Structure 1
Amino acid sequence: MTSATNQTRNSSLIAPTAPFWEHAGTVVRGLQRGVALGLVVLALTFWLAPGASWESDIMLFKLALSATAALAGGIIFYASRNPAIPTAEVDVDASEVRMMHVPRFGQPALIERIRFCDLGRAIQRDGQIRLRSSEGETLAELCAQHANVRSSLIPALRNVGKLPALTT
């Protein structure tokens, strides 16, 4: 039983645990959402507070405070969205990979343009081609079963030395 436990512990099936600072963005987004919710609740409680006066100057002050709190809460809540994941466009004719930010509304924006010769080593395994940056970060995963990929991308990557000639 001990050898099976050690083998499982050392296998690549178990994902390594990430350091705590890689999850800091999630914690900060959660705190931002909590503050935003608190501001919206504060804006509502200005009007529901017991003993509130209906004098015009106090009403105007409460209106300004509640509008400001609700607006700030909405802006903070909107800012706490998850960051958008960029998409990769592979252009074989230009021998480059373009990392694009595609917003929900509006035009896509170019983040980075990477030439094939500046890529890291590509990996072809199980019908997939994984394009990696020079730092080893995965940029895109493509299905190698498509005829366009087999006839154009694979030879282009092999010409610049990013994909080994013989793959298994």
Structure 2
Amino acid sequence: DNQKIKLQIWDTAGQERFRSITQSYYRSASALILVYDISCQPTFDCLPDWLREIQEHANSKVLKILVGNKTDRDDREIPQDVGAEFAKQHGMYFLETSAKQADNVERLFYDIAAVLIEQARTKEFTLRSETSVLTNLSQKTIYHPSCCSVGDRGQANHSNDSHYSDSSGPSSLASSSGNFITQQ
């Protein structure tokens, strides 16, 4: 769509010393990305704890994404289907990446932006529809504008669909708007 959107990203790297600080950011977050190392089982085993914190502190409609990282490594401990199933059970999007090789990293953020833009459009449409109804009832117009900060978007490399949770790649949500990460 050639739209510009600015994402503000807070990376705590899952470190315990940032846990209390992280909780304060949950409430205003539009999206939360949980990342585990596909070659390190303990990072996957911690996911339920992080999800409990999200449920406790975040907006119930926050976009949740599960990312299996380090696909460049040969010592995989968590099979892709295990990550995909975990995401499915918890209503999360799922994608695997390699930060080292920059595989699917841009795609992750572009797809998150696309989902958030679509949510904002839907919300704006709903607000406008409600405004029309309210205007007809009370002859007053109530309008709550939605807006996004802008920044350069650039072009994402969308060539690697092999790390999606199913063989259809991003098409399982493509009907609503473009290249989304697969939601389980």
TM-score, normalised relative to structure 2: 0.22
RCO higher in structure (CA 8 A, sep ≥6): 2
Q: Which has the larger Rg?
A: 1
TM-score, normalised relative to structure 1: 0.24
